[in-house]
Structure 1
Amino acid sequence: MTVTAIVSERSSDPAFHDRYAQYTTDPVMTVFRPDNPNGSAMLLVPGGGYRWVVVDKEGFDVARVFAASGTTCFVLRNRLPSDGWAAGPDAPLQDVQRAMRLIRARASVYGVRQDRIAILGASAGGHLAGLGSARTDSVYMAVDDADLVGFRPDLSVLMYPVATMTDPYVHAGSRSFLLGPAPTSQQITAYSLEQMNWREAKPTFLVHAMDDEAVPVENSLQLLATLKAAGVKAEAHLFQEGGHGFGIRLAQGKPGQVWPDLVRAWAARMDFAL
C-alpha cells in the first residue's frame, strides 16, 4: 500500500491553526526550545483516533505552554497503523520508542537531563503514550547507538486517554483504526492499558472531563485503579465539564484550563520541573 503524506487545515479562523496529518511516511519531531531551559524534556503525542494526528491542538499549542516555563518540547508526528506498515498496530509505538531514545541519546545537545524526559499524550495519543510508558519490550530492531538507551519516559501525562480497547467504554474509532474492524480477544487485551502490567512504570498523571462523550471517563478511572494496584505514583484530575479534546484553547473559561498548572505542581513535588 502506497500513501502520500498530507497535512490539512480545519480552522477557518485566521487567529489559530487546527491542522491534522495523515499518511505520514517519515515520522517527524518538531522541537520547541525554551528561552530559559529547566533541564527537562517532554515528548508530545497528539491525538486523532489513530486516523490522523492533530498537529496544533494537542501538539504545538501544548508545546508552547510548557516551553514557556522552560521545558524543551518535542511534538511527534507518528505513522498510523492502518497505512500498511509491516509492524501493523505497533508502527506508532515504534515511532514513540525511537523518539524517546533519540531525545535521551541527544540529551546533552538539547541541554536536558537523561532522567528528566516526560511524555504527554492526548486521546488516542494518550493511548500511544500509555503504551510507551507501560511496555518494556522494544518493538523494533536497533538501528544505531541511540537504540542502546532506554525508551520509557520518566513521567507520563495522559489527557482524556483512549485507555481501553474493551466494550462498553472503548472509543470504537480508535480501536478500529488501530486493530482493524474485527480484532481478536487477545489483541483487545494486549492493547488495553488497564489490563497491562504497569509495575515499575514511572509516575503518571491523568486528566479527563466527566462529560466526555467521545472517550468516557471510565477509561481514566479503570486505568487509575490499575496504576494504584501496580504501586505506580499517580494523580488524577476529573473536571465536571470540558468535553473531549479540549487541549489548551478549548479549555479556556472552563474548569480544565488549569490543567497545565496542576501538572507542573504535581511534577514539582517529584523534583521534575515542567
Structure 2
Amino acid sequence: MLLNRRSALGLAALAATPAPALAMTPVSRQVAPPDPTETIRLWPGAAPGGANVTVTPQVVERSTDPAFHDRFAQYTTDPILTVLRPERPNGASLLLIPGGGYRWAVVDKEGLDCARPFAAAGVTCFVLRYRLPADGWAAGPAAPLQDAQRALRLVRRQAAAEGLDPARVAVLGASAGGHLAGALTASRDAVYEAVDAADGLSFRPDLSILMYPVATMQGPFVHAGSRDNLLGANPSPEDLARWSLERMDWNGAAPTFLLHAMDDASVPVENSLQLLTAIRAAGVKAEAHLFEEGGHGFGVRLIAGKPASVWPELVLAWAARKGWISRVASSGS
C-alpha cells in the first residue's frame, strides 16, 4: 500500500461539486480551508465482496456558504483515508469515522472539520470514507467494519513507518460513525481475510472517543434510520442484539470517552447512558460528558457559544491524562 500524496481519486471525490467561485465571495466573508491532498486507499485491489456492487460513487455538496463545506459521500466503492498532518507531530494518530446514518458518510462536519483542532494540537489525523452496508457488499452490515478494521491497521502501520508511535492510535466516531467506532473498539476478530502484512497488526484502538453515538439497535431509544440502513427493514432479534453496542463484549477494550447533548432529538442520550453502563460493567475505563444543549450532529462548527463547544479541549485533556499526548500538546502551545 503506497502513500499517495496527490491522489487523483481523493481530489476528484472531494471536489465532485465545485465550491462557489471566489469571485462571487464578498471580501468580508471567510472562505473554507483547502482540502488536504494526501489520501491512502484502504485496499490494494478491489474492496472485498464487491461482485454484486453496481452503485456509482458520488460526493454531494450541501453548503451554499463559501465559508464552509458540508459534503457527504455516498455509494463509496474504493474507501480512502484523507490525511491531515500537523506542523509539529507529537507522535499520536487519530482515525476519524464520520456519521451519516449508514446512508452516507459526511466528509466535513464530523470528518475534516473535527480533525483540524486535533491536528492543531499535534495529532496526525486520518478521516475515513467507508463503504455502506446496503450497496450490495457480500459482508452486508460488516462491510463498514471491514473498512474500519483495515483503516486502523493502516494508520498503525503508517505511524510506525513515519516515526510516530504505533501504540498511540485512537479512534473518534460520531453518530453512526460512533456506532462503527464502538464496534471497532469492542471487536476481537477480524471480519475480512488478510490481504497484506498490515493485516498482521492490531485493529483495536488505544483510545476510543464516541460522539453522540448510535449505540443500540433495539428498544425505544434506537435511531431507526441507522438500524434500517445497517440491518435492513426486518432484522432478526439475533442481529439486533449482535449489532447493539451495549450488548457487545467490551472486556479488554480501550479507555473510552463519551460525549452527548441531552437535547439530542435524533439519537437520544440514552444511547450513551446505556453504553456507559455496559462498558463500566466490563471494567473499561471511561469518561462521559453530557451537555444540556447542542442537539445532534454538531461537530465543531454548529455549537459556537454553547457548552458543548469545549468538547475537543475535554478530549485532549483526557487523552493527556491517558498518556496519548503530552499536556503541552493538549493546550495547543
Q: Distance in 2 between matches of 1:256 and 1:154?
A: 24
Question: What's the CA shift for 1:32?
Answer: 0.4
Q: Distance in 1 between matches of 2:252 and 2:193?
A: 23
Q: Can you list the C-alpha shifts for 1:176-218, whole angstroms capped at 9, x where unaligned? A: 0000000000000000000111000010000000000000000
Aligned with 1:10 (options 47, 62, 82): 62
Percent identity reads 67
Q: Distance in 1 between matches of 2:296 and 2:165?
A: 33
Q: Distance in 1 between matches of 2:141 and 2:117?
A: 31
Q: Distance in 2 between matches of 1:108 and 1:128?
A: 24
Q: Distance in 2 between matches of 1:176 and 1:183?
A: 8
Instruction: Determine helix, strand or coil for the equivalent of 2:209.
Output: strand
State which drifts further: 98-107 or 252-261: 98-107
| Residue identity in the other structure for 2:313 | D
Equivalent residues in 2 for 1:47-66, closer than 5 Å: 47-66=99-118
Residue 120, structure 1, aligned to residue 172, structure 2: yes
State which drifts further: 140-149 or 105-114: 105-114
| Structure 1: runs of 5 or more not aligned | none
Aligned with 1:145 (options 197, 205, 213): 197
State which drifts further: 109-118 or 170-179: 109-118
| Structure 2: runs of 5 or more not aligned | 1-52
Structure 1 residue aligned with 2:184: 132
Question: What's the CA shift for 1:103?
Answer: 1.1
Q: Distance in 2 between matches of 1:97 and 1:196?
A: 16
Aligned with 1:74 (options 114, 117, 126): 126
Question: What's the CA shift for 1:111?
Answer: 3.2
Q: Distance in 1 between matches of 2:290 and 2:160?
A: 37
| Residue identity in the other structure for 1:140 | Y
Equivalent residues in 2 for 1:55-204, closer than 5 Å: 55-204=107-256
Q: Distance in 1 between matches of 2:156 and 2:294?
A: 34
Q: Distance in 2 between matches of 1:159 and 1:177?
A: 20
Instruction: Determine helix, strand or coil for the equivalent of 1:106.
Output: helix
| Residue identity in the other structure for 2:197 | D
Q: Which runs of 4+ in 1 moved over 2 A?
A: 108-111
Q: Distance in 2 between matches of 1:102 and 1:272?
A: 19
Q: Distance in 2 between matches of 1:110 and 1:58?
A: 26
Name the structure, 1 or 2, with higher relative contact order (CA <8 Å, separation 6+). 1
Q: Distance in 1 between matches of 2:293 and 2:145?
A: 31
Larger Rg: 2
Q: Sort the Cα spacing of 1:102 and 1:244 in 2 relative to 1 into closer, same or farther, 3 A.
A: same
Number of aligned residue pairs? 274
CA-atom RMSD in angstroms = 0.7
Q: Distance in 2 between matches of 1:146 and 1:69?
A: 27
Please say if residues 209 and 242 of structure 1, whose CA atoms lie closer than 8 Å, have aligned partners that are also in contact.
yes
State which drifts further: 108-117 or 218-227: 108-117
Q: Can you list the C-alpha shifts for 1:38-64, whole angstroms capped at 9, x where unaligned? A: 100000000000000000000000111
| Residue identity in the other structure for 2:287 | E
Q: Distance in 1 between matches of 2:91 and 2:141?
A: 33
| Residue identity in the other structure for 1:107 | A
Q: Distance in 2 between matches of 1:67 and 1:252?
A: 19
Please say if residues 37 and 111 of structure 1, whose CA atoms lie closer than 8 Å, have aligned partners that are also in contact.
no
